[in-house]
């Protein structure tokens, strides 16, 4: 059996090695984004094909992201045992297995099997995110961490722009608008046959995806990506952490994990619910499929601003404060603004464009939270990263909560759920990240 590669001191890497490592991690973030953000089209697609309520449809996000809550801490121990690279390979192989589960799910039109496939993909992503986020955070100067994470964000969100459009192009046809309109008038046998044909369109793309992920996992393991030493602490960090025996003794980390929980929840709501919100305005699925891409484009614009301005013109923490305040502002505008406008070929209520602008508000939150939450964790870094990744289960909880409120009231008033989330993020950006001791 091949021995685990020996870890290296981050300061010993050459500029070429650092640049190559950033490029390889950026490629992985692109793949994460491509697979994660396709959920924005899977939710309305499964709602039609499997005849679901809004709450049931948003279980797509729940099944996918609850895996982060379950797997993130075990992932930290896995990475400690086998190293970053082999752990990444295992993560890609788990994702490949999840993609292959889609094949029997589509053959039988079994929504539970689809959810199992999404859960398995989520397990693989939890392992990969636990490895790559702390990796890119410490791969260079601390004050430029948000800048590097913003670069990863561009890779992630660029893939997010492409994936719903590519997926929709593969599985949807121009005649589907007529098909969706005719479903209610069909007999049970006709409707079942039509929906069986519709859902089986996912078989070719997910068979290709599973094969690609399996091969990619092996290639990453054989790549020149270095193992990074996160177990040894600098003297000042070792001194500060000398008496600490538990990850719970770092309040700024625990508060940061809850901030991650709320942030990713707001981000996935802004992207995964916008098609349904457009549908409520009379915009059909084939036309509404572009709205997640608009939101992700705004996020990329925010990343570019961050890369240019951090830390030269603005600090990481001030960028975080601005973005969280924008989140509060845009949420209030979603709720209270009204009026039909035509923009980019869409005639819709103006409030939907403030949902799009949430992409800008969310852009630098992730990049700002990670350096603050992982600050001075030393030997607790891998476990701390797994706690932060556990916060990604916010993606599992928040969309079904939005869907539940939308079923009771409507898709517009359900956006009230965003306001307390952004208010907490403002608290963490202003004060929460400075808390070093619990006070009760």
User: Between 430 and 22, where is the model more confident?
Assistant: 430
Which tokens in the block code for residue 339?
């009026």
What pLDDT, in 10s, does the model give residues 253-278? 999 999 999 999 999 899 888 888 99
The token pair that represents 240 in the structure block: 């500060």
Element (H, E) at 342: strand 340-343
- Over residues 278-331, the pLDDT tens digits come to 988 888 877 888 888 899 889 889 988 988 888 788 888 999 999 999 999 999
Segment among 81-90, 182-191, 412-421 with least mean pLDDT:
182-191
Q: Checking phi first, is residue 246 left (phi over 0); if not, alpha (psi -120 to 50) or beta?
A: beta
| CA-derived radius of gyration, the chain | 22
Q: How far is CA 265 from CA 56, 156, 364, 395, in A?
A: 17, 17, 15, 5
Alpha carbon distance 358, 331 (integer Å): 8
Q: Please determine, for residue 1, whether its predicted confidence score (pLDDT) is greater than 50.
A: no
- Domain ranges, ordered by start, for the chain: 13-227+247-434
Phi, psi of 346 (to 5 degrees): -110, 130
pLDDT of 336 over the 70 cut: yes
* Alpha carbon distance 51, 95 (integer Å): 26
Task: For tokens 């990744």, name the residue.
Answer: 389
Query: Higher-confidence residue: 417 or 188?
Result: 417
pLDDT tops 80 at residue 351? yes
Span between the terminal Cα atoms of the chain, in Å = 51
Query: What is the CATH class of 13-227+247-434?
Result: mainly alpha
pLDDT digits (tens, 9 = 90+) for 362-421: 998 988 898 888 887 777 777 787 888 888 888 778 888 898 898 888 889 999 999 999
Note the pLDDT of residue 419: 96
pLDDT of residue 53: 82
Q: Three-state SS for 8?
A: strand
Report the distance separating Cα 307 and Cα 296, nearest Å. Answer: 16
Residue 215 vs residue 135, higher pLDDT: 215
**Do 392 and 72 meet the contact criterion of CB atoms below 8 Å apart?**
yes
39-52 tens-digit pLDDT: 767 777 888 888 88
Mark out the alpha helices in 337-438 (DSSP H runs): 351-362, 365-374, 381-390, 394-408, 418-430
Q: Would you give the DSSP letter of residue 314?
A: S
CA distance 153 to 319: 15
Q: Under a CB-based contact definition with an 8 Å cutoff, are residues 84 and 228 in contact? A: yes
Of 267, 425, 290, 421, nearest to 355 (Cα)? 267
Q: Say whether pLDDT at 133 is over 80.
A: no
Count the Cβ atoms, other than its own, within 10 Å of residue 322: 16
Separation CA 99–CA 204 (nearest Å): 11
Q: Which of 401, 391, 402, 381 is nearest to 424 (CA)?
A: 391
Residue 324 has phi, psi (to 5 degrees) of -65, -40
């Amino acid at each position: 059996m091949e021995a685990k590669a020996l870890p290296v001191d981050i300061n010993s890497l050459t500029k070429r090695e650092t640049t190559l490592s950033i490029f390889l991690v950026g490629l992985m973030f692109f793949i994460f984004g491509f697979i994660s953000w396709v959920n924005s089209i899977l939710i309305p697609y499964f709602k039609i094909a499997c005849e679901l309520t809004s709450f049931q449809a948003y279980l797509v996000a729940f099944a996918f992201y609850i895996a982060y809550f379950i797997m993130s801490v075990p992932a930290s121990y896995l990475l400690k045992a086998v190293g970053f690279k082999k752990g990444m390979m295992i993560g890609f192989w788990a994702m490949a297995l999840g993609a292959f589960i889609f094949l029997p799910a589509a053959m039988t039109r079994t929504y539970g099997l689809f959810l199992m496939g999404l859960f398995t993909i989520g397990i693989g992503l939890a392992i990969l995110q636990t490895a790559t986020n702390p990796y890119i955070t410490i791969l260079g100067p601390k004050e430029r961490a948000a800048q590097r994470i913003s670069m990863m964000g561009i890779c992630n969100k660029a893939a997010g722009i492409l994936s719903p459009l590519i997926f929709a192009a593969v599985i949807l046809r121009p005649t589907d608008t007529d098909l969706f309109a005719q479903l209610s008038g069909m007999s049970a046998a006709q409707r079942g046959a039509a929906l069986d044909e519709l859902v089986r369109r996912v078989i070719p793309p997910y068979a290709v995806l599973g094969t690609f992920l399996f091969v990619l996992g092996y290639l990453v393991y054989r790549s020149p990506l270095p193992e990074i030493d996160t177990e040894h602490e600098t003297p000042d960090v070792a001194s500060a952490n000398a008496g600490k025996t538990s990850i719970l003794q770092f309040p700024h980390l625990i508060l940061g994990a809850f901030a991650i929980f709320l942030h990713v929840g707001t981000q996935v709501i802004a992207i995964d619910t916008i098609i349904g919100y457009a549908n409520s305005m009379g915009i059909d699925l084939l036309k509404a499929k572009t709205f997640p891409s608009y939101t992700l484009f705004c996020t990329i614009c925010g990343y570019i601003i961050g890369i240019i301005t951090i830390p030269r013109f603005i600090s990481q923490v001030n960028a975080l404060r601005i973005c969280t305040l924008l989140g509060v502002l845009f949420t209030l505008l979603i709720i209270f603004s009204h009026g039909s406008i035509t923009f980019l070929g869409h005639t819709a209520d103006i409030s939907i464009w403030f949902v799009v602008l949430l992409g800008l508000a969310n852009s630098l939150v992730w990049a700002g939270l990670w350096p603050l939450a992982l600050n001075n964790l030393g030997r607790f870094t891998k476990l701390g990263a797994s706690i932060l990744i556990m916060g990604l289960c916010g993606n599992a909880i928040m969309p079904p909560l939005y869907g539940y409120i939308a079923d009771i009231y409507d898709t517009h008033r359900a956006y009230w759920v965003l306001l307390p989330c952004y208010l907490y993020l403002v608290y963490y950006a202003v004060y929460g990240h400075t808390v070093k001791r619990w006070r009760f």
